[in-house]
Amino acid sequence: MEIAEAIRVQQNSHTTTGPTNYAERRKAMGLDSLTYPLHYEDARPNTNPTSTLHINLTEETVSARPGFEGIIGKSSVLRRLLHMVETVAAGDSTVLLLGETGTGKELIARAIHGLSPRNTRPFVKLNCAAIPTGLLESELFGHERGSFTGAIAQKIGRLEVAHQGSLFLDEIGDISLELQPKLLRALQEREFERLGSTRTQKIDVRIVAATHRDLEGMILEKQFRSDLYYRLNVFPIRVPPLRERPEDISLLVRHFVQQATRRMCKTIDTVPSETMDALIDYHWPGNIRELENVIERAVILSPGPVLRLSLRDLRSRIAPSQDTDRHQTLEEVERNYILKTLKATRWVLSGPGGAAARLGLNRSTLYFRMKKLGITRSVDSSSNPQKILATR
């Protein structure tokens, strides 16, 4: 499901409801092309006008200008992101989208394609984590009939389907080491062969890749090729998590309530202030996807026109920092900590600011621990001999 993005409108303490004043406020805040109207009304006399959010279910969500369909907002974080999208979309450079799961990276990839000169050509997506490793190569490059057991017909791969368009490679960090050199060749040489074929296919495809993984850390652990990383990392864009955009949450709530009530044929037009405050204050480790699920559950459980949300259930949700190492062994924790320290010291092992000093160990002890934990070291010939590369 594509995740629609929206924005919270911050109200002035003296809110007016006349259409002229509302239009002037929108224009002054620069919202005309990036937001849709959100109406706050008093629930009772002498209350704060932002205490309840009233939702007009007959009002359609107004999309942003062409190319940004589904992306709606005015926050400074979102505006910077959209500016970067506009900047890179006009060219043909490879884009790498970085960010946590559930932040809407696919929506950003579609915006890049929609604003590019390729927008009349195909936008093809491939989730590298959703396809078994043995089938991913066939999905990407295609295969000829009889090239392997079960290949009863020719298959056109996603690269070929996306010719002259854009290919979105989601979760690129999950691609196997065996397949990475073939993808690198396709990116560099703009050519590939289908499985079981000797005929080279020329392609003209723009690549937009995305991942929630730390690719640099994976390179150090020999799980991702550095040459492929540098080929993908031409124009990196970080998609911010929802906790960095708290002002966006009220309009996201409005949008998801609209979606859920229409599907369920229910009527909900009010969100209590304490509910909205709790939603804004929550950390949202699952980002927009988690917010959508929470709102859908709340709509299901709400018997009347007021959105009912169990604040206790929201507070009991696991924070992202909790239980992340629950299934790690002591050896794994130690290994990860040493690797983290090596990265922080730029792989300098000895000296006052080296990894050994930070870990409170002497150099020989650190060597011993690295060997025991399967961290090998090799001298980088292009730099200081004390610099090391840590691998599994």
Instruction: Answer whether 389's CB lies under 8 Å from 220's CB.
Output: yes
Same fold, 19-66+245-315 and 325-392: no
Sheet holding 52-54, edge to edge: 39-40, 52-54, 270-272
Cα–Cα distance between 381 and 384 in angstroms, integer?
Answer: 8
Higher pLDDT, 302 or 69: 302
Q: What tens digit of pLDDT does each residue of 219-232 get?
A: 988 999 999 999 99
| pLDDT bucket at 46, cuts 50 / 70 / 90 | very low
Question: 89, exposed or middle or buried, with CB in 10 Å at 0-12, 13-18, 19+?
Answer: buried
pLDDT of residue 362: 82
Least trusted range by pLDDT, from 128-137, 157-166, 206-215: 128-137
Q: What is the pTM of this model?
A: 0.67
Radius of gyration of the chain (CA): 25
Least trusted range by pLDDT, from 38-52, 144-158, 185-199: 38-52
Cα–Cα distance between 165 and 163 in angstroms, integer?
Answer: 5
Cα–Cα distance between 198 and 25 in angstroms, integer?
Answer: 63
Instruction: Answer whether 298's CB lies under 8 Å from 270's CB.
Output: no
Chain position carrying tokens 């690198």: 184
CA dihedral 124, 128, 132, 134 (to 10 degrees): 80
Higher pLDDT, 46 or 285: 285
Least trusted range by pLDDT, from 18-32, 50-64, 243-257: 18-32
- Say yes or no to pLDDT of 277 above 60: yes
The answer regarding whether domain 19-66+245-315 maps to CATH 1.10.8.60 reads yes
pLDDT of residue 322: 43
pLDDT of residue 66: 55
Least trusted range by pLDDT, from 123-132, 192-201, 313-322, 346-355: 313-322
Structure tokens at 333: 């924790």
Q: What tens digit of pLDDT does each residue of 330-343 get?
A: 777 777 888 888 87
For domain 76-238, the CATH architecture is 3-Layer(aba) Sandwich (3.40)
pLDDT of residue 73: 65
Cα–Cα distance between 307 and 291 in angstroms, integer?
Answer: 14
Query: Ranked by mean pLDDT, which of 8-17, 104-113, 240-249, 356-365 comes out on top?
Result: 104-113
Per-domain residue ranges of the chain: 19-66+245-315, 76-238, 325-392
pLDDT of residue 328: 57
Chain position carrying tokens 């990265």: 343
Q: Which helix or strand (DSSP H or E) is residue 84 part of?
A: helix 76-89
pLDDT of residue 61: 47
pLDDT of residue 332: 72
Write the CB contacts of 228 (distance below 8 Å, at least 6 apart in sequence).
Answer: 180, 181, 183, 184, 187
| pLDDT bucket at 169, cuts 50 / 70 / 90 | very high
Q: Tell me which CATH code domain 325-392 carries.
A: 1.10.10
pLDDT of residue 315: 64
pLDDT of residue 65: 52
